[in-house]
Every structure is written in C-alpha cells, then in structure tokens.
Homo-oligomer: A and B are copies of this chain.
C-alpha cells in the first residue's frame, strides 16, 4: 500500500476533518515541547471515539505503519512525537475530550484520553470531590498521557502516582480489539492487571482511550508553609517529624536549594523570597484536610515550632492567604522555566530510596562538580518520594553543543551513581526516546528480556509507538 492509498483509507474512516497531511499543518505536532526532538510523520489523525481509534489501528496494522499516540504533548522524554525519519502517523486524542460520567457516591470519574487535567480537577470540585494529582503542566497535560506515562507531580507523597489513582482503563490494543476495562471497581482480581500494564507503557502496548479515576473528598482549605533549613538531611528528618504530628495531611514536601530559588528570583517576574534570612535549602510544604482546618493549623503550627526548637529548621513562614500560598507555589513550579531561561543543561529525573536521598544529593553534587569542572548541580523536587530533578548546568563558557557532547557524559556519570544506590534513572518522566539508550545500558537483562517478550506478544508487528520505552535486542534498531 503506498502512502496516498493509506491516507485515503484513513480519510474514508475518519472523514476529511480527521486527517491532516499538509506539512505546514503537521509541523506543530512533530516537536516535543522541550524542543529536543523533531520527528517525521505522514499525517496527524484525530479520531473522535474509540471506534475510530480501532479503525485507525486496523488500517495501520494492515499497512505496517507505526502509530505515535499524542495527548497534550507535555512529556519530558519525547515519548509522544515521532522519530526523525519515521514513516508514521501521529494519533492525537485531543478530540476525545468528554468526561463520560462522575459518581460522587462512588468517588469516581470517567474521562476520555483527551481531557485536560485541570478539567478533571474542575469537574471533581463541582461535586465536592477532588482528583489528587497535579503538576505544572496541568493546563495542557491530558488524561491519556498522564496514564500512559504514570505521571507523578506534587501530591505523590500522600496519594501515589497516576498508577495509584487508576480504577479502570479502556484501550485499543495493537490488534484493533477494544479492552473494556473501564469499571470503577476498587477490588478486581480477574487475572493479570492489564490496567497496570498499560499505565506507564507510553503507548507501546496500545492506545488508552479513557480512564476511570479515583476521587477523594474535597479539602478546599490548605496550609502552605515555606521553610528555611541547613541540609537535605534536616529536611527529611523534618518531614518524618511533621508526619508524626499531622499524619496523612502532608500532601507535598518539595525541596528547593538556594541556587534554584535564586534562578527563579532572577528570571521569573513577580517573585520574591518568602523568608528574610538566607538558607542553603528550602522546603515548600502543603497540608490539607477534609475535616477541621483550624485544628490542623494549630497542630501544624505547634509541629513547626518544635522543628524550630529542635534546630531541624531555621526559619518558617506560613502563607496567610490563598494568594500567598499561590506565590509560594509559583517559586516551586517555575524552577524548570527559570532553568530554561538561564540556559540549557543536562537534566535527570532520578529516584533513590527515600532515606538515601539526602546522602545522595549531598555526596553526588560535589562529585559531579569535581568530575566536570565549572558545572553546577541544581537538585530540587519531591524529597518525600525519594525523587529529585538532579539537573546539571554547563560551565559559563560552554560551547553550544555541550548538552549533546559533555552533557551525555554527565548523564552517564549521574545515572551510574543512581544505580550504585539502587535507584532509577526515571522516577516520573518515563523513558520515551531521550532515555532509551541509558535505560538499555543500565537495565538488568531479566527486566529487558521480560519487557521485550511482552512487547512482542501484544504488538507482534511493532506498530505501537516504536523506538520508545522498550530497548530492542539489537541497539541499532532503536534509532
């Protein structure tokens, strides 16, 4: 089948409005949002329902043409865009943007893959519930992408990642069949958990078309505090002490080093430091309850006072208004943007056991800076999850090609240190295209062999998002 014939069949299945093949119209869909990868595709297809997705998958399978599913295109590892040289189609889920149902009594909601995260937040709030997963890209990221990448964010500490919030999944499998696993059952032991296999599979085993999601009781009032402290060790001790006092109410515990705060204050308008004093480390903490917020505030204030007395923290400010809480969060959520404005770097999304994280940061940062003179580490993020974004800025006088050359060596160095302490080179961003080589280099053979077997079993023709997530046995095939 030649390309024209294939596109005609797609148009017959989806209508003219469902297929875009003009290169100028296609262009915005081919580059990941970080601008690291620009791929090639024959067309963008935009099905309106699961039946149309099935039709596309069957046509693509018959023609042997790969499919790259795409949601909000906010991924960090270029998992949602084609590779350079691909003869593929990009399948956008954005037209599938209905919230199919919401059941407050059942604490569940069914959203199609193209629904934007902030829409799910809004829908849950309307019925006195909330969907407890949030991240900086919430205004663009879609449910299908969040499921397929097992997204994390700032509330994992209490509620776990996307995987923990999925009750059911509807997906089109590589043979065009529809997996109808969209129930909201809390307990279901009927065989292998295909939902959990599809979650985090980055579209390599099928196309998630809808998900049934867990809601929790609303907790409209929050207590947001900004802490100044001397070390990452103290931050972790402080977290454990705070949890002992307020229990599950601690939803976010985000570590911010002095250099990250300085970058934000330099590059992001309308920001100012929450504390008058200077500190090597900061923590943004958010606590919520669906019960008595005044009581929580009393307990939290007492707990923070004890942390001050014990010397675990040096200073603290509790937001006195929702506007101030937002201002504190802005400092955390614009770190990536400030880094981007400041210049490029080698970025790492690593996890280690929670208790090992302070030691990892405090020992690895100087090692990196010694091994690569002039570089500077900015390590920030989800301390309570054992996950930090361990980013390395190049020397001031670095050549333009630094990331592609030295940056690659820096990443290997960082990932080797992560492996030494039993950590992961991808805590929440996934593997996509950008981490495929490193994953293949470091993964245990048994893990890779099992993944390849599963991939081949469910997608024998290899049409589902090839070149992402699953390192092939022959590394040359990946590129």
What residues of chain A have their CB less than 8 Å away from a CB belonging to chain B? 103, 105-108, 149-150, 152, 156, 160-161, 163-164, 173, 175, 177-181, 183-194, 196-197, 199-201, 205, 217, 236, 240, 243-248, 289-291, 295, 299, 351-356, 382, 385-387, 422-431, 439, 443-447, 449-451, 453-454, 456-458, 469-470
**What's the Cα separation between A329 and B169 when bound, in Å?**
36
Do the beta carbons of A191 and B351 come within 8 Å of each other? no
User: Can you name 20 A-B pairs with beta carbons within 8 Å?
Assistant: A105-B240, A106-B355, A180-B446, A183-B424, A185-B352, A187-B427, A189-B426, A189-B428, A190-B424, A190-B425, A190-B439, A191-B470, A192-B454, A194-B447, A196-B196, A217-B244, A217-B247, A247-B248, A247-B291, A453-B458
> A217-B243, A444-B180 in contact; A353/B450 too (CB < 8 A)?
no
Judging by beta carbons under 8 Å apart, are B449 and A184 in contact? no
Residue of B nearest to A459 (CB): B453
Which residue from chain B places its CB closest to the CB of A356 in the assembled complex? B106
Q: How far is the CA of A386 from the CA of B188 in the complex (A)?
A: 10
With A108-B353, A291-B245, A424-B183 as known contacts, state yes or no: A196 contacts B194, CB within 8 Å: no
Q: How many copies does the complex hold?
A: 2
- The residue of chain B having its C-beta at the shortest distance from the C-beta of A175 within the complex is B449
A103 touches B355 (CB 8 A): yes
Cβ–Cβ contact B446 & A185, under 8 A: no
Q: Which 3 A-B pairs have the closest CB atoms?
A: A457-B457, A196-B196, A105-B355
Are B200 and A197 interface neighbours, CB within 8 A?
no
Distance in Å from the Cβ of A202 to the closest Cβ of chain B? 9
Q: Is the CB of B164 within 8 A of A187?
A: no
Across the interface, name the chain B residue whose C-beta is closest to A429. B189
Contacts of A457 in B (CB 8 A): 453-454, 456-457
Residues of B within 8 A of A246 (CB): 291
Q: B179 to A446, Cβ gap below 8 A?
A: yes
Q: Which of B179, B354, B428, B469 has a CB less than 8 Å from the CB of A450?
A: B179
Q: Which B residues are CB-close (under 8 A) to A424?
A: 183, 185, 187-190
Given known contacts A178-B446, A217-B244, what 13 new A-B pairs fall within 8 Å (CB)?
A: A103-B353, A106-B355, A156-B186, A173-B449, A177-B449, A183-B422, A185-B422, A186-B385, A186-B387, A187-B385, A190-B424, A192-B454, A194-B450
- Looking across the interface, which residue of chain B has its beta carbon closest to that of A191? B451
Of residues A107, A150, A173, A196, which shows the largest number of chain B Cβ atoms within 10 Å of its Cβ?
A196
Question: Are the C-beta atoms of B244 and A427 separated by less than 8 Å?
Answer: no
